[in-house]
């Protein structure tokens, strides 16, 4: 199947508009609040780190002192938002129009598979990059081009990260819409569905990211900047920044999930689970 970005966009936005009332509640709980809380509680730490980017000693000290809170907030936020993606995916999947409660229960059942699949991907990627790094390092030592080989390795890692992320972009859809509980099978299903469409999906996601950056810049300029000018650095500016960041993130997360539902519908022929039995 060939991915059609225009069809994905119109279909995804239509799904969001048709379910906007219930999506507001899900987005508020699973996307807006975690982003807001992380931004508010880590604002002082981030400010100190930004002010000392060139002072390695201070950066290490700040990281050491706040590592526990940073990890706790980061992991907690990731888990909550992961549940949110799964819940929105279930709600928009079109399989019997589940209620919010049913969508959340589906998300909780699917979360272990998503976590396991993410860990498998991370471990495999690190292992492959480690082997590639050893090979490139040895080649650089033999040829005397260690600096060049280091640059090649950085490029290889970036390309590999982008490529694998695109090929596995339908992971949540394969877990929820195809009902695949085996994490390895879910990864393979996403890899199968995106075959031959990686460049089209990459271009589509880059356009979406550009739009996200533009919207973030405009809202920050017209909302956060005036607050910062009037109130100066402090709690009011931090709260305004957190609210703007949380709202943009929540809207972007819901729309992105809806677009992934549309992409899955296209690339699976509109039949959730139609090919998932291949991996059962």
Q: What percent of the chain has pLDDT over 70?
A: 85
275 pLDDT band, cuts 50/70/90, is very low
Of 3-7, 76-80, 239-243, the poorest mean pLDDT is in: 239-243
Q: What percent of the chain has pLDDT over 90?
A: 49
HSE (CB half, 13 Å, CA atoms) of 266? 24
pLDDT digits (tens, 9 = 90+) for 39-49: 667 666 666 66
172 pLDDT band, cuts 50/70/90, is very high
Mean pLDDT, the chain, whole residue set = 85
Output DSSP code: residue 42. T
pLDDT of residue 48: 65
What is the value of pTM for the model shown? 0.83
Closest by CA to 194, choosing from 176, 169, 161, 175, is 169
pLDDT of residue 61: 75
Give the angle 168-173-179 at the CA atoms, nearest 5°: 120
Q: Tell me: pLDDT of 72 over 80.
A: no
Question: Cβ neighbours of residue 156 under 8 Å, at least 6 residues apart?
Answer: 129, 132, 136
Nearest-angstrom CA–CA distance, 136 and 109: 42
Given a contact cutoff of 8 angstroms between Cβ atoms, the answer to whether 240 and 211 are in contact is no
pLDDT of residue 75: 87
Split into its structural domains, the chain has a count of: 1
pLDDT digits (tens, 9 = 90+) for 111-136: 999 999 999 999 999 999 888 888 88
Closest by CA to 80, choosing from 127, 33, 123, is 33
Given a contact cutoff of 8 angstroms between Cβ atoms, the answer to whether 262 and 11 are in contact is yes
Q: Which domain holds residue 112?
A: 5-279
HSE (CB half, 13 Å, CA atoms) of 204? 19
């Amino acid at each position: 199947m060939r991915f059609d970005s225009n069809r994905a966009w119109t279909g995804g936005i239509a799904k969001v508009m048709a379910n906007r009332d219930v999506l507001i509640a899900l987005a508020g709980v699973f996307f807006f609040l975690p982003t807001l809380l992380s931004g508010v509680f880590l604002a002082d730490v981030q400010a100190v780190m930004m002010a000392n980017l060139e002072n390695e000693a201070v950066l290490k000290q700040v990281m050491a002192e706040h590592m526990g809170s940073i990890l706790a907030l980061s992991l907690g936020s990731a888990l909550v938002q992961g549940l949110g993606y799964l819940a929105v995916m279930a709600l928009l999947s079109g399989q019997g129009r589940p209620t919010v409660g049913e969508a959340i229960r589906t998300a909780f059942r699917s979360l272990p598979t998503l976590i396991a699949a993410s860990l498998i991907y991370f471990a495999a990627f690190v292992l492959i990059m480690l082997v590639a790094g050893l090979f490139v390092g040895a080649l650089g030592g033999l040829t005397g081009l260690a600096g060049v080989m280091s640059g090649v390795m950085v490029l290889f890692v970036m390309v590999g990260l982008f490529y694998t992320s695109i090929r596995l972009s339908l992971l949540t859809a394969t877990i929820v819409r195809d009902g695949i509980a085996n994490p390895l099978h879910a990864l393979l299903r996403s890899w199968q569905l995106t075959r031959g469409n990686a460049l089209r999906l990459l271009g589509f996601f880059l356009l979406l990211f550009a739009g996200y950056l533009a919207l973030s810049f405009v809202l920050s300029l017209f909302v956060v900047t005036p607050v910062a000018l009037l109130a100066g650095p402090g709690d009011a500016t931090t709260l305004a920044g957190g609210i703007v960041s949380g709202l943009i993130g929540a809207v972007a997360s819901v729309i992105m999930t809806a677009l992934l539902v549309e992409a899955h519908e296209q690339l699976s022929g509109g039949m959730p689970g139609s090919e998932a039995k291949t991996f059962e």
